Structure 1
């Protein structure tokens, strides 16, 4: 008797997932095309680690010392996400979802209060600060996959490796730092019913917002460029961001910036090459109140704004504003054998300091007040810049 043939098509995602589990767990086949490839990879890692899909999960927290260490180490991430985590919880207040933020290893460092009135016994124990959601601890979940592979992922129902987690649905996205490394994972989870909205898009939007804020917080000594092909989306999660270091190289790019420029920050390209204008032109953008249109070397026109943070305690925006009246004065002639100064943020800072001191008639105390720094810091900067030349002007 001929065995019944397998149906070629399945109408629902639940049916496709059930077939994928049958092929993978019972028949030892790779269920390519039935579930997300990231889920299949996670199943394979769990199997290789000899995890039993029928074993219960305890959602055990890490040790108290590790939890405190993670909270201290991720203070900046929590600060960057504080407003967005509250806004996301508000947006989900009419659902039964929970908002979780984990560190790069999958340990929960923020969990929202219960949203809705439906009982969620699994989420009740999973949504606690200190619980380890890493794949090595609880198998296939969205935050576990993101912590392992640093890619956005959604895991629904029976896509979870362990049978007891098949009532959960979760969507997670990575948050990266200025070094391009995973800084944390933002997750939205619900127990019982599936999401009634596009959870992946919502999580991706908020993760991008937190990441952009974290990048700015980690760039006090960088020239930060905001740009997009449409100026109306600046100051939104859709904007491109780039950090330029004191040597004039791109220290980092957010994902939008990489797509717009085609550049790779890991190669530390010159900002002038990527944006098609000299560094001095990019530096001057922070004085302009409206974005400027720039045509990139790849032919795309983008609208750009620039911001200078604080380097060595000098607020560049205030310093440049204070130095404006002195710009009309002729600059002293450089020695004939002196090499031209490199156009870097470091030179820009020293030039601003020198011009402000000159505008104050050599009065260090007055110049320090205008720059918003201490006299001691100003003396140290002048001595470092002089490098063996005449001593700095006396405090009149």
Structure 2
């Protein structure tokens, strides 16, 4: 391990510590980058679950503001299954269809390796996973950010709110604003899931102005810039 907290993977590229830790867990699970995505499995999703039903208005509000930004949102349940996927971008939609990331797909880290939803469920912490930081090679065209949805009373993780885009990395300058957005969104989902009667919270809650949390963000291809990221 380097003093900076960066690890080196097989091809010599550096990885941030939380990503390196996730890669190690994937390797311990017997996965390899070339074949990890072969383990993508599908399970039935309960469309009447408290999380999915109660969070729907929150996600509708969020997705409306993301229209035209090229980002895709995923709502993943506590078992790692995609409960809902949304994108206004046809290219992104086709890419996720091609990957098989659709309702019911299991994104657990021990099945497909490092990815934002799966790693959030493993660590209980939000994480940004840039394209080439994904363990499974087919996912390396996508960058994503995952935020846990935590029950406000039990503190149990109810799921993960994820935003993804077809880009090498996200501009570090927008990290703080985007995190604030996703924390507010995941908090709304948490409140709604805990009490479905307040599912309309997301419609009346004041939201930041602008097209969305990622509207000022652009791809950042520089690996040096990505290595300076600490999120």
1:250-329 equivalences under 5 Å are: none
| TM-aligned CA distance change 1:92 to 1:103, over 3 Å | same
Mapped pair 1:207 → 2:182: no
Structure 2 match to 1:40: 20
In 2, are the aligned partners of 1:84 and 1:206 still within 8 Å (CA)? yes
Within the candidate set 94, 104, 110, 2:68 is matched to 94
Mapped pair 1:109 → 2:83: yes
CA distance in 2, matches of 1:182, 1:80: 15
Summarize deviations over 1:337-392 as a string: whole Å, max 9, x none: xxxxxxxxxxxxxxxxxxxxxxxxxxxxxxxxxxxxxxxxxxxxxxxxxxxxxxxx
Which ranges of structure 2 fall in alignment gaps of 5 or more residues? 199-204, 208-231
Mapped pair 1:170 → 2:144: yes
In the superposition, the TM-score normalised over structure 1's length comes to 0.43
CA distance in 2, matches of 1:195, 1:91: 18
Summarize deviations over 1:26-72 as a string: whole Å, max 9, x none: 57x9x6xx51x321221110111221112262474424xxx14x434
CA distance in 1, matches of 2:92, 2:53: 31
Mapped pair 1:182 → 2:162: no
| TM-aligned CA distance change 1:127 to 1:108, over 3 Å | same
Structure 1 match to 2:91: 118
Task: Kindly state the Cα deviation for residue 163 of structure 1 after the two structures are TM-superposed.
Answer: 2.4
| TM-aligned CA distance change 1:81 to 1:59, over 3 Å | farther
CA distance in 2, matches of 1:166, 1:126: 14
In 2, are the aligned partners of 1:171 and 1:187 still within 8 Å (CA)? yes
Summarize deviations over 1:165-222 as a string: whole Å, max 9, x none: 2111011111122311111111111123544654433322210121123334499xxx
| TM-aligned CA distance change 1:156 to 1:129, over 3 Å | same
Structure 1 counterpart SS, 2:146 = strand
Task: Kindly state the Cα deviation for residue 82 of structure 1 after the two structures are TM-superposed.
Answer: 1.1
In the superposition, the TM-score normalised over structure 2's length comes to 0.71
Task: Kindly state the Cα deviation for residue 236 of structure 1 after the two structures are TM-superposed.
Answer: 6.3
1:1-396 equivalences under 5 Å are: 23-26=8-11, 35=16, 37-55=17-35, 57-58=37-38, 60-63=40-43, 67-68=44-45, 70-72=46-48, 75-112=49-86, 114-118=87-91, 121-124=94-97, 125-177=99-151, 178-195=153-170, 197-198=174-175, 199-217=178-196
CA distance in 2, matches of 1:139, 1:85: 26
Which ranges of structure 1 fall in alignment gaps of 5 or more residues? 1-7, 10-15, 220-234, 238-396
CA distance in 1, matches of 2:127, 2:92: 25
Q: How many residue pairs are counted as aligned between the two chains?
A: 193
CA distance in 2, matches of 1:60, 1:39: 20
Which portions of structure 1, spanning 4 or more consecutive aligned residues, are displaced by more than 6 angstroms? none
| TM-aligned CA distance change 1:120 to 1:71, over 3 Å | closer
CA distance in 1, matches of 2:34, 2:108: 18
CA RMSD, Structure 1 to Structure 2 (Å):
3.1
